[in-house]
Structure formats: C-alpha cells, structure tokens
Amino acid sequence: MRYTKPHFYDTFECLADRCPDTCCAGWQIVIDEDSLDKYEQVEGPFGNRLANSIDWEEGTFLQYERERRCAFLNEQNFCDIYTELAPDALCDTCRMYPRHIEMYDGLREESLSLSCPEAARIMLTCQEPTQILSWETEEEEDSFDEDEMDFLLFTRVEDAREVMFQILRERRLDIRQRMTMVEMLAEKMQQCVDECRDYEIDDVIIEAEEAFREACNAIDLSLKDMMDKEEDNIPDVYSALCREFTVFKEMELLRDEWGQTLDHMWSVLYAGGREQYEELCSRFDQTYGCDSKYREDWQRIGEQLMMFFVYTYFCGAVYDEWIATKIRMATFSVRWIQELVRYRWWENGEKLTMENVIQMSWRYAREVEHSDENLGILEEWLQGE
Ligand code: SF4
C-alpha cells in the first residue's frame, strides 16, 4: 500500500477550547455505524443523554438552535463524549477531522482540511514549498475493480499532478503564470479524454513540462509577456468575477453570517462598477498585493492554496473524468479567497493581517469546499464553463 501526505501533516494539534470557531458548531456531524452501536450501549445518566441527544434515524448529533452547537459541546468548548467516555469514544468524523483521506487503488492520500482554522494556519504560514511525502508498506488494501477506477487514466492523472506540483512550486515564476500553466495542462488533458484520445495525454504532459522549463529559462520575458496580456484582459476580470459571483447565490448557506458577508462584499467591491473595482484593486496591490512589499507573501499564499486544492482534489478526476473542472475549482477557490481577503482589507480600513487571510480562507472552505452540496453545485457550474 502506498501513502502520501503533505510534509506539515503531523504538526497539526487541535486548538480545542482556544479554537476561534470550533468544528463542533455549524455542521451536521454524521455518526458512523460502529459509534452508533457503542453509544446505544452506554448506561447510566450519560447513556440517557446520548439516547436523547442523537437523531437515531439520521445518525447525527442533535444541535442547539442557537449557533447550531453540537449537543455535546459544553460551555468551555470541550466535548462531553471525550471527557465522559474516552478519546476513542469519538465517532469517526470527530476523531478524524480535520484529517481527510482520499482512497485510490493501492493508494491512500492524507491531507488536512482548509476549513479548520489551525490547519489553515499551518498551510498558509508555511514558508517553504509544500512537499508531498510518499511511502509504502506491505499492507494490502481491498483492490478496486475496473468499473470503479480506470487504472491507466489514474496513472496519467497522477503523472500530470506531479508536473503541476513542479510548476506550482517554482517561485521564480509569478503565481498567476503558474496557475495559467496548470490550467492549460488540465484543459488539454480534458480535450484528449473528451475526444477519446487518452493515449495522447502522455505527450500533453511532456509538452507541458517542456513549456514549463522554457518559461523558467526565460523568466523575465515570460513574466513580461504575461503582464502585457493581463493588461489587455483587465476588463474581463471584473465581468468574470461578477458572473462567477452568481454561483454563490445557488449554494446552501451554512451560516447566515456568510450570506451577510457575501452581500456586503458585493456592495463594496462590485456594485460600484468596473472603474471603482479596479481602483480599489490597484490600492490593494500597492499596499498588500502583488505590487507591494508583501508581494512574496501574496504569491506564497496563492501557491500554498493551489497546492492544497490540486493535491486534495485533482486525482478525484479518475472517478468522473472532470479533469479540467478540478483545476477550474482550484483556481476559482484561490481567486475567491483572494477577493474575500481584499474585502476584509477594505473592511479593516485598508489594513490587513495574516490572521485575516487565514480566517477568510477557512471561512470560504467551510461554506463552499467542505460542504458536499455546495461543492457539487460549484463543480456542476464550472463544468459548464
Ligand atoms: S476547527 Fe480545528 S482547531 Fe478548531 S476545534 Fe475543530 S479540529 Fe480543533
């Protein structure tokens, strides 16, 4: 069995009562069958509490209306199941979160969820490029059959992801250029799959690697070319953002405050028209963004977010063949986290801290990326793009 994980994976430690927004509120926590069986057998007063605080039909913990807090989260923000029973009495969801696992044939990929404030802090404050550690054990996993997973496509998707990692970690290139190269590779792969030319994907990956090397050999030229093109594209950025914003309105709201943030963000950033938006962006870029003394931090944050989304989601394309959509979702998410950060900067009187960046990242992830329903809506929408 092969395993992978980001190099910072083991540094995670739950903040528990120091967490700014505990994961035990706001979400419906689904309990696995084994834990339900265990909870059913607990006796005494705590057994009664378990019996009355679980929705046995849905297999979820009940929540208090106010803030949708889990019925077992006490006033000190500690879990009563953990303290009254034992740490291993926690259900799989609570024991695992924010650790996330993706399974493929013979491969288990572990990651941390961006929706957890501490995991987001670890990822976004990591100064060095994210490395993906890989190791093997003798252990055998139940193998997948061919209907579940196209093995050949998986090898190609994994190879392509390796090239994407190389591109994303190349700090001599502007992050916007790195993202464009990754998008182009995914779009070309998608074309091959759509036209039943899967056998050409290997060549597409080799070409992308060569184009990347050429870009590295001509850093100044490639960056200048890209900036020139971007100058021409400025009108489209505003229109594209206004169009993309509509997809948030189709999603379920996990928290009312998220809806308020979106409405206010619309009125501050976009409702005033393109000229006002561009003027605000230019002020941001000069103080905290890509034209400021924080340029390297801004670039590094974009890189770490892209690494997170590509690592966590790209190989999932083997199940639905939505190769391009997986990368569109990554670039969409990075773009909108950056927009949320701009909004927060404006709200703070044009000031920004790393804490603000971390907070906007996990808030986006909680509402959009960590909700199966919202992720589905976003992927469907991006698939049509
Ligand atoms: S969100 Fe993360 S840090 Fe906060 S309580 Fe949950 S696991 Fe711990």
- Closest atom of ligand 1 to 16 CA is 5
Q: With a 6 A CB cut-off, is 379 part of the ligand 1 pocket? A: no
Q: Does residue 156 lie in a domain region?
A: yes
Q: Does residue 379 sit in the same domain as residue 240?
A: yes
Whether the ω angle into residue 98 lies within 30 degrees of 0, i.e. cis, is yes
pLDDT, position 143 = 63
Residue span of the structural domain in which 311 resides: 151-383
Does residue 166 sit within a domain?
yes
Domain boundary among 96, 116, 131: 96
Task: Give CA separation, 34 vs 40, 88, 97, 163, in Å.
Answer: 10, 12, 17, 41
Question: Is residue 61 within 6 Å of ligand 1 at its C-beta?
Answer: no
Q: Are residues 186 and 299 in the same domain?
A: yes
* Residue found under tokens 């991006």: 382
Q: Does some domain include residue 1?
A: no
Number of independent structural domains in the chain: 2
Specify if 133 maps to a domain: no
Q: What is the pLDDT of residue 289?
A: 81
Q: Report pLDDT for 220.
A: 58
Question: What's residue 305's pLDDT?
Answer: 98
From 9, 23, 79, the mutation candidate for ligand 1 (largest count of ligand atoms within 8 A of CB) is: 23
Domain termination site, one of 81, 96, 111: 96
How many whole angstroms from 14 Cα to the centroid of ligand 1?
5
**CB count in 10 Å sphere of residue 41:** 8
Whether the CB of 73 sits within 6 Å of ligand 1: no
- Asked if 189 and 311 sit in the same domain, the reply is yes
Q: Are 319 and 343 in contact (CB under 8 A)?
A: no
Is 2 within a domain? no
Regarding whether 177 and 68 lie in a shared domain, the answer is no
98 lines ligand 1 (CB under 6 A): yes
**CA-based end-to-end distance of the chain:** 37
Shared-domain flag, residues 88 and 204? no
| 10 within some domain | no
Q: How far apart are CA 304 and CA 158, in angstroms?
A: 19
3-state secondary structure 342-361: HHHHHHCCCCCCHHHHHHHH
Ligand 1 atom closest to residue 20's alpha carbon, by position in its atom list: 4
Asked whether residue 359 falls in the same domain as residue 219, the answer is yes
CB of 352 closer than 8 Å to CB of 341: yes
Residue 70 Cβ contacting ligand 1 at under 6 Å:
no
Cβ(365)–Cβ(115) under 8 Å?
A: yes
Q: Specify the amino acid at residue 93.
A: T
Tokens of 278: 């561009």
In angstroms, rounded to a whole number, what is the distance separating the alpha carbons of residues 158 and 184? 16
DSSP secondary structure code for residue 258 in this structure? H
In a domain, 92, yes or no: yes
Is ligand 1 within 6 A of the CB of residue 79?
no
Is 113 a domain residue? no
Residues of the chain under the 70 pLDDT cut: 66, 142-147, 219-235
Burial code (b: 16+ CB inside 10 Å, e: under 16) for 43-58 equals eeeeeebbeebbeeee
CB 1 within 8 A of CB 142: no
Residues 206 and 281 in one domain: yes
Q: Are residues 207 and 356 in the same domain?
A: yes
What secondary structure does DSSP assign to 28-63, as a single string?
A: PPBPPHHHHHHHHT--HHHHHHHHHSEETTTTEE-E
Give yes or no: residues 81 and 190 share one domain.
Answer: no
Q: Is the CB of residue 117 below 6 angstroms from any atom belonging to ligand 1?
A: yes
| Structural domain ending residue among the three candidates 96, 111, 132 | 96
Instruction: Verify that 176 and 85 share a domain, yes or no.
Output: no
Tell which atom from ligand 1 comes closest to the C-alpha of 97. Answer: 7
Residues 51 and 192 in one domain: no
* Token duo for residue 123: 């990822």
| Residues 181, 83 share a domain | no
pLDDT value, residue 318: 95
Q: How far is the CA of 36 from the centre of ligand 1 (A)?
A: 22
CB 198 within 8 A of CB 156: yes
